[in-house]
Chains A and B, each alone.
Chain A
Amino acid sequence: MPPAASAHYRIERKTPASYAAAGAACVLVAVLAAIPGFAGRNVVEELIFVYYMLALAQCWNLLAGYAGLVSIGQQAFVGLGGYLLFALTIIAGLDPLVAILLCGLIAAAFALPTALVVFRLRGAYFAIGTWVVAEVYRLGFAQFKRLGGGTGTSLGPEITNQVFGIEWIKSLFDVRTPAARDIISYWVALALAAATLVLVYLILRSRRGLALGAIRDSEDAAESVGVDYFRVKLGIYVITAVATGMIGALIYLQNARISPDAAFSVLNWTAYVIFIVVIGGIGTIEGPIVGTLVFYLMQRYLASFGAWYLIVLGALAIAVMLFAPKGLWGYAAGRYGLALFPIRRRLLVKNQD
């Protein structure tokens, strides 16, 4: 009998390791959520930083690593989220947590027309185009005198101390107001990081995810098999803008001070994020996690070197791009066949007997 008739084909995404990983992830999130109960404020604040950088990295990875949309302008949505948070709380008087949710929605409303403009540029031109747009956002928000114009403004304690649930946290953990505020930010950051991760995972597992792979490999080829790449790319762009906007809102709730130059900083919100994704491994979900940890350690121990730190960071990114273009995770995964987040489909051929 010819082999084709006796063989069963099965397409699998999951590996045994991935089941274990899913279980471990749930336990991990539960443990992380409990950290403020026994860790100090420093740890909580540093973890907030880790979570939001991870979430930003996952977003950029989805854009650049999967949809081929290499944006250098994601600071537009970080800054937008931050400014919207200030506007919604200071001017509209909303609760910050409600404002964060709204920031996501409004970011989508901004992202749609922005996409229609920048999508006219392709490839590397798209990259610089998004940067120009981010500059337009920066210069535009600098015109808002109510929010401090070019110098920026602060969130008063009357707002940051009135976050929903803060009294409950204070009594639960027996902490003062600033620490309670951090704990809320911590949970929101953890939720955003976890949600971004799950979102990216679900998108990549879906049929849209397959379409993304096709687009990344070749737009023309993708179109010839009926993938409407414009709609898929638009969808990804808007979804990442929503997530990035909400992360931005959280970052500036935590900072409690905003200025156009900081909120729309290409270095803080895009260059570092690109560094994380490239070092960790672009085009994998695990890569940004690895990259975030590396970045956190470098930031913690080397940031005091100032300009030299950035020079090392730039050189490291170049070296990885040239010598290990799949990043640390890609290198390790290729060597040991690891996959914690099973988005690849594996073709299994099994004989019937």
Chain B
Amino acid sequence: MNVWADALIQGILLGGLYALFAAGLSLIFGIMRLVNLAHGDLIVLAAFVILTIAAWLGLDPFAAALAALPIMFMAGFALQHLLLNRTLGRDLLPPLLVTFGLSIIIENGLLELFSADSQRLRAGSIETASVSLGGGVAVGVIPLLTLASAIGVVLALNLVFYRTSLGRAFRATADDLEIAQLMGIDFSRIFSVAMGLAFIVVTIAALYLGMRANFDPTIGPERLLYAFEAVIVGGLGSFWGTLCGGIIIGVAQTIGAQLDPEWQILAGHLAFLVVLVLRPRGLFPRATD
């Protein structure tokens, strides 16, 4: 089997992980135009939460992640309600700098609590299980689950956004904050719910981050960059676009790694810059915006 085809398949699966990183970022930006610089660190934080729950209750990572979901939802709600809602306004700096400060606090807080050691979410035999696609290509079950979850998350987010009254309120608030209030929408509450939802997506992303590879408190910012690249490459405002953006970054990385292992990350960044130069609005921009 051709190594390039294999790299392509692995890249698509890796893209699933990046799409999970990106979906939460995309959700938050879509609703409140907030670019959360702590997003990557929040993913790492969620991975440590899952790790801790799994260790305390003796659960496997999936069950631990499930138990973490309500906790993380509330954490996201509280973060938005108590801190981030105060930063929103016409000025660009407060949300950027507050989330940047948050990123530093989370990273160093985790270092203080868990040390810089590498951690892993141990899931038993499923970690090494793989499925043969024929032609000598085998893909791991976990990477496959990652991509399936990414697709599931995108489907679920689309369902919430386009089929529920909450989703209508999200979109109305994003369109016109002033008029949304006239619909009885309490935007600070809507934003807090949105951040809670983003934290749920973050927790799902963290589950796969922790099962696929080692993690430590310092890897957050790099995940933020991948997530950001996926959002921009996909085009703002479309969750499917974000999924495609994640896959493009993932494929660029595995192809780059195939050329030279040292080029993996660089290739992803370069793919992003190329798209930015050629299609500044991303590959699948929404018509309005």
- Classify the interface of chain B: helix, strand, loop or mixed: helix
Of A131, A271, A314, which contacts B225 at CB under 8 A?
A131
Number of interface residues, chain B, beta carbon within 8 A: 43
B280 near A72 with CB under 8 A, answer: no
Q: How far is the CB of A77 from chain B (nearest CB, A)?
A: 17
Assembly CA distance A213 to B222 (angstroms):
34
B188 at the interface (CB under 8 A from A): no
A139 near B266 with CB under 8 A, answer: yes
| Also in contact, A314 and B86, with CB within 8 A (given A139-B266, A307-B108) | no
Residues of B within 8 A of A165 (CB): none
Residues of A within 8 A of B222 (CB): 135
Of A310, A315, A322, which contacts B94 at CB under 8 A?
A322
Closest residue to A307 on the B side, CB-wise? B108
Of B35, B94, B104, B277, which contacts A321 at CB under 8 A?
B94
B273 near A132 with CB under 8 A, answer: yes
A132 near B101 with CB under 8 A, answer: no
B37 near A72 with CB under 8 A, answer: yes
Residues of A within 8 A of B277 (CB): 116-117, 120
A68 near B94 with CB under 8 A, answer: no
A132 near B109 with CB under 8 A, answer: no
A318 near B101 with CB under 8 A, answer: yes
Of B93, B95, B102, B111, which contacts A314 at CB under 8 A?
B102
Residues of B within 8 A of A64 (CB): 93
Assembly CA distance A268 to B277 (angstroms):
29
Assembly CA distance A311 to B41 (angstroms):
14
B228 near A132 with CB under 8 A, answer: yes
B87 at the interface (CB under 8 A from A): yes
A321 near B93 with CB under 8 A, answer: yes
Q: How far is the CB of B190 from chain A (nearest CB, A)?
A: 20
B92 near A314 with CB under 8 A, answer: no
A27 at the interface (CB under 8 A from B): no
Proximity bits, A58-74, B CB within 8 Å = 1, else 0: 00000010001010100
Closest residue to A218 on the B side, CB-wise? B90
Residues of A within 8 A of B221 (CB): 131, 266
Q: How far is the CB of B217 from chain A (nearest CB, A)?
A: 9
B266 near A136 with CB under 8 A, answer: yes
Closest residue to A119 on the B side, CB-wise? B280
Q: How far is the CB of A291 from chain B (nearest CB, A)?
A: 13
Closest residue to A116 on the B side, CB-wise? B277
A313 near B276 with CB under 8 A, answer: no
Of A136, A315, A322, which contacts B270 at CB under 8 A?
A136
Proximity bits, A282-312, B CB within 8 Å = 1, else 0: 1000000000000000000000001110110
B97 near A274 with CB under 8 A, answer: yes
Assembly CA distance A135 to B267 (angstroms):
11
Q: How far is the CB of B184 from chain A (nearest CB, A)?
A: 28
Assembly CA distance A69 to B246 (angstroms):
27
Q: How far is the CB of B238 from chain A (nearest CB, A)?
A: 16
Residues of B within 8 A of A278 (CB): 97
A325 at the interface (CB under 8 A from B): yes
Scan residues 33-88 of chain B and give those whose CB is less than 8 A from a CB of chain A. 33-35, 37, 83, 86-87
B272 at the interface (CB under 8 A from A): yes
B112 at the interface (CB under 8 A from A): yes
Point out residues on A near B: beta carbons under 8 Å: 64, 68, 70, 72, 116-117, 120-121, 123-125, 127-129, 131-133, 135-136, 139-140, 142-143, 150, 266-267, 271, 274, 278, 282, 306-308, 310-311, 313-315, 317-318, 321-322, 325
